[in-house]
Amino acid sequence: MCGVCGFASKQSRFSKDQLDRMVDSMVHRGPDDRGTLFLNTMGLGFRRLAILDQAGGHQPMSCEDGSVHAVVNGEIYNYKGLRASLIAKGHVFHSKSDAEVVPHLYEEGGIEALTHQLRGMFALALIDRKTESLYLVRDHFGIKPLYYTRKSDGLFFASDIQSLFAASVMTPHINDTSLWHYLSFQYVPDPHTMFAGVCKVPPAHYLMYRRGRVELTHYWKMGYDPDLSWTLPNLADAIHDVLKDSVRRHMMSDVPRGAYLSSGIDSSAIVAFLRQKEEVDTFSIGFGEDHGEVNELLQARETAHVLGTRHHEVTVTAQEYRDMLPTIVASQEDPLADPSAPALYFLAREARRHVTVVLSGEGADELFAGYPIYAEPHALKIFDYVPPKARHVLGQMAATLPPQMKGRGFVIRGSQTLQKRYMGNAKIFSEEEKVKLVPWIGDGKPYWTVTEPWYAASHHLDPVSQMQTIDGYTWLPGDILMKADKMSMAHSLELRVPFLDVAVFELARTIPPQFKVGQGTTKLALREALRGELPSTLANRPKLGFPIPIRHWLQPHGYFYDFVREILNPHRAPYFESSAVQSLLSAPKGTIFNQDRKIWTLMIFALWHQEFLDTAKCSSGMFGGTQGGD
């Protein structure tokens, strides 16, 4: 069940027609059903992808006396226990849908009952007619999106940004701060979007609107608390059991389901647990032409054979990737320069031909310390013995060396504090480079203003736990979960992530540092937990990531070489300083660190601008009109 929208106002200023347009703009999120509730000063809209109780799961849902109404995007995995408890207290249910527990649970215990008892992925909206309140609640990790825009006379919300524009209450404009941070992170960090005036309800937050007043509350925190009393065998057993239970809960559906399968242990573990219960369709992606060095298909095929699945493969050519890129960028809504995002689009398209639900391994690297960069604190430990002033001098000296000189980056990073050198898994442009690229913004707030609050909250922890905290609050919702949701929903496919379960996290947060990164590997405790489920060749397989051959494509005579230069020419991309762009495009290979990712980041933004801010497209009704302003 996959799309919610609506509004709230102090007076009857908005129409049923606006609500209908918002609902109809999200048909891709829910092609099976639609529903609306219009109450003059408040409204709820819903698009449904029927997963549970296909005949009786129509939304909005209400409590017995009609004083509470709700729409729910996602799945409540503990709904059966909640439902039984509520029935025992006298509540009457009219469907078998998991969403129906939401209005009854609120009626029983208020907003705190929702935020403390729901276990799942969800973005929900609830109207309390007695207090004239609207609540917007987003799940603990930010698996499902929830956007809103405030107006002088009310508030609009939706699962898609385009649904907000369909209400015809604002005109799309760039948020300068968002562009500034996008050039650093390759995505727009919460709570902002690239559109001025459009925000996200952050993960683990709820927003309350009451008679023109808005309050945002943080109801749960992703806090790590390593327990040094764990032994590795006991910890591995506990991880195995809680993950197996999470996969079991994530299987609930009345429609066909399957799983993504890459070369890594995360998706392999999920498939192994699924396979114990039923036959499984698995899906993998690779690239055509001569890109064997970055192709996971062979390893995924071997895993599928070992686990005995019905395996499906997608092979994408550079031509297909390039031709579909504008459509994919439009589906993302916010610019996201992760090259693997379009690959998920093609993978979801193939999966939807066979199933309606897929399980995937997102979140395992953040919770169990799977990224190779998490090994860096150990590698840089030698610098702990160098006095701070000497470290600073070493860093300055290293910065004067040629970019391609071996060891230069190691010394520079070793000379910096963790707070300055680590901002997450992507660091694209430096602050100095951004000033040259977008001088019209001026000297914006540095990237560490985004990460500083989470460093402050985790300052007492070991370096790896601090890095996990940063990624959990920024990279995970801003990149990993954003692309997972947008690319699957573009094909009306529901994607579920068993690693991102509250019970799984409550255990993962206690893993000691030595069981995260050690013995020459990452995710040490998770690998140990899976030894009984996966052959040792799979359990010990190093992380490959999601390899996309953009370096090959951007080379002279590559498929994207002329395409990028056309997209980024000064006439089509006047928002970037042309001299800075040309310097980047014409630089000899190997002379600029991260050159390919920088070019890709600029190209994705240029395509986003073309798709969303082109005057002709806006005036033609792509956003349902451009009346009003923010």
Question: CA 241 to CA 419: how far, in whole Å?
Answer: 35
Q: How many CB atoms lie within 10 A of CB 357?
A: 23
- Give how far the C-alpha of residue 339 lies from the chain's centroid of Cα atoms, to the nearest Å: 14
Give the CA distances from residue 454 to residues 423, 474, 480, in Å, rounded to whole numbers and listed in that order: 10, 9, 18
Question: CA 267 to CA 359: how far, in whole Å?
Answer: 8
Joined together, the tokens standing for residue 209 give: 């609107």
Task: Please calculate the CA angle 228-230-236 and round it to the nearest 5 degrees.
Answer: 140
H or E segment to which residue 529 belongs: helix 524-529
Joined together, the tokens standing for residue 280 give: 């499984």
Joined together, the tokens standing for residue 564 give: 């990028």
Closest CA to 608 of 203, 183, 23, 191: 183
Give the CA distances from residue 17 to residues 10, 14, 261, in Å, rounded to whole numbers and listed in that order: 18, 8, 43
For residues 18, 19, 23, 24, the Cα torsion angle rounded to the nearest 10 degrees is -30
H or E segment to which residue 134 belongs: strand 133-138
Residue with tokens 């300068």: 176
Question: CA 498 to CA 298: how far, in whole Å?
Answer: 25
Joined together, the tokens standing for residue 326 give: 């504008």
- Residues paired with 126 in a beta bridge: 70, 135
Question: CA 262 to CA 221: how far, in whole Å?
Answer: 30
Is 199 labeled as catalytic in the residue annotation? no
Catalytic residues: 2
